[in-house]
Amino acid sequence: MRHTLILLTLCTTLLYADSPWSKNSRVSTPIAWDTLDQGESSFDVYGDSIYAVCNTAQRGQDPNDPFAYSLDNGKTFVQLPFVDEKTGIKWQTDPIIEVDDSGNIHMIVQFSTSYMNHYFSRDAGVTWEDTSRVNSSNGVDKPWWVVDKNEIYVVWQQTAGQQGIWLAKSTDYGKSFTDRQFWNRRGITGLDMDQKKRLHLVNGTWGGEVYYRRSDDKGASWTAEKKVGTHSYASSYGDRAAITSIAAHDDYVFITYVDNSANGSWEVNGIRSEDGGATWEQPFIVNDDTQGGQCKGFAHFDCYGGLHVFYYHTPDWRTNASSKFSTRCRYSSDGGKTFGPSMRISDGEWASNADFIGEYHILRSDSQYVYAVWADGRNPEGNDLYLSKAKIDDIVSIQPRPRNFVKPQGRLLALQATPNGSIKVTVQPHNKDLSISLFDVRGRKLKTLHQGSVVKPFSTIVSRRDVSTGMVLVQVKGEEIQEVEAVMLY
């Protein structure tokens, strides 16, 4: 009997994600209308609220982009159908979603390859308003975007008329857009914005090249294109596009794309820059297991500068309807120069119920957690979305340390309330440079208090005059150290 209990315990353990990633929560909760295979997904996090949207493998017959929300940080979800019958187009696809600084939800849905609509919700997605068209000319595919307060930037490949890469911009929270072609190329794009408000763009062309450009003036002009990599790609069951992604934090920029050239099977390649995209290192394989296939890579920087790369893994190549897929993530504390071992995010591995599992799935983070949402086939009635999250501090703590690393004795950061409601920030000396910064609860940097050496105790006062939010996080970060404290300013 004792041996039986031990065996059952081991089997149960194998069904969970790798620590510190949480046991998976089902996003696409069982609903009578949901007999669909859920596909590519997008989501965002605002406080304890999580909003997710996806398309489906049946999007040609069933006009529905399932939308789900959680108000308890991902423990439970409510799923609602999202259908815009006014368009007269059944094919709703390529949905993307973000939350602005006021907690309002912005969503873009592509209708066939004709046009995109922007939708706006103030009530967690129960109702939608301020519907506006994003692109002025029909012929659109593969949009990606950045939402920054009242400004929205959308890029896509134009497939009809004046073909190429287009940018649409809104400065009024999506009520209206202006658009234009700015690049005479086509392919799959990715877009991100760094702390200096610079836009970073990647384009994986259908001809097998990977190009990069940057805008320092909010899309008005762009640097000359840089060819940073090449790829070959072969579609197979479960994946059919060499999706690109790009992430930027300060002067670190990191690109991912799927490539078959190294081992004949899918691999997630990475390319990195340490100088804001001016120069680039050579491409390398990000995934640490090169057996089988890896696809749907997505790069994301958390607010502290940690880099997380998500991807699907299968032990098979070529893939087929019996191939089992899992999702994994790797973490880097130095902008992608080195990575810790990959961690499985999904509770297990499953065959997909449809050839289409979606072409993209993404990561998000706030000041405490990094989150992942993806589709898999663990439920025989259809592919569904699942969520897992991990505390950033826990991810950082299990990463390998260099041999010469000496952990400081005690904490460096101390906070003390003052009689007038301000906070005194004190940081003890350290033998390497430190960055001392303020962040809001969503993980967006508000202010840098100090950058450089701390040879004697550093002190400063932070008050409501310095920031526009009550709750702030104070971060001390060095080459091999990170401390964060939350505080309320009155």
Q: Are 38 and 58 in contact (CB under 8 A)?
A: no
Tens digit of pLDDT for each residue in 216-246? 999 999 999 999 999 999 999 999 999 999 9
Minimal CA–CA distance to 174: which of 132, 128, 116?
A: 132
Could you tell me how many residues make up the chain?
A: 490
* Cβ neighbour number for residue 485 with a 10 Å cutoff: 15
Signed CA dihedral, 360, 395, 202, 221: sign only: positive
The Cα–Cα gap between 8 and 14 comes to 10
231 vs 39, 207, 257, CA distance in Å?
Answer: 24, 9, 8
Q: Which residue has the tokens 């990000």?
A: 286
Sequence-distant (≥ 6) Cβ neighbours of residue 34 within 8 angstroms: 28, 66, 79, 382
Overall average pLDDT of the 368-389 stretch: 96
Q: Are 73 and 96 in contact (CB under 8 A)?
A: no
Tokens 């104070």 correspond to what residue?
474
Partner residues linked to 105 by β-bridges: 99, 121
Distance CA 424, CA 270 (A): 41
pLDDT value at 332 more than 50: yes
Tell me the C-alpha distance between 321 and 377, whole Å: 11
* Greater pLDDT, 422 or 87: 87
CA of residue 69 relative to chain centroid, distance:
17
Which is nearest to 145 in space by CA: 380, 462, 360, 419?
360
Cβ–Cβ < 8 Å for 200, 191: yes
Q: pLDDT of 269-293, one tens digit each? A: 999 999 999 999 999 999 999 999 9
Q: What is the mean pLDDT of the chain?
A: 90
Residue 51's pLDDT band (cuts 50, 70, 90): very high
Q: Which residues pair with 148 in a beta bridge?
A: 151
- pLDDT of 13 above 60: no
Highest mean pLDDT among 310-314, 418-422, 431-435: 310-314
SS3 165: strand
* Radius of gyration (C-alpha) of the chain in whole angstroms: 22
What is the mean pLDDT of the segment spanning 371-387? 96
* Segment 337-352 mean pLDDT: 96
CA distance 443 to 472: 9
336 touches 252 (CB < 8 A): yes
List, in sequence order, every residue forming a beta bridge with 439; answer none if it has no partner.
445, 473
The pair of three-digit structure tokens given for residue 238, joined into one six-digit string: 């479960």
Q: Do 141 and 110 touch, CB atoms closer than 8 A?
A: yes
pLDDT (0 to 100) of residue 407:
46
Which residues partner with 97 through β-bridges? 107
Confidence of residue 475 (pLDDT cuts 50, 70, 90): confident
Look up residue 86 and give its DSSP letter.
Answer: G
For residue 441, name the pLDDT band (cuts at 50, 70, 90): low
Q: Cα(472)–Cα(484) distance, rounded to whole angstroms? A: 10
The pLDDT value recorded for residue 469 is 54
pTM comes to 0.85
Q: Which residue do the tokens 């303020």 mark?
A: 438
| Percent of the chain whose predicted confidence (pLDDT) is above 90 | 75
Max mean pLDDT among 57-61, 128-132, 156-160 falls in 156-160
Give the span between the Cα atoms of 153 and 150, in whole angstroms: 10
Backbone angles phi, psi at 5, to 5 degrees: -65, -40
Measure Cα distances from 22 to 11, 81, 291, 334, 346 in Å: 17, 27, 26, 24, 9
C-beta separation of 37 from 55 below 8 A? no
Q: For residue 48, what are its two tokens?
A: 């304890």
Q: How far is residue 429's CA from residue 461's CA, in Å, rounded to a whole number?
A: 18
- The residue among 295 and 397 whose pLDDT is bigger is 295
The pLDDT value given to residue 6 = 35
416 in helix, strand or coil? strand
Q: C-alpha angle 138/141/142, rounded to 5°?
A: 150
The H-or-E segment that residue 8 falls in is helix 2-13
Cα–chain center distance at 342: 17
* Phi and psi at residue 245, to the nearest 5°: -145, 160
Which domains does the chain show, CATH number per domain?
A: 15-397 (2.120.10.10), 413-488 (2.60.40)
φ and ψ of 441, to 5 deg: -70, -15
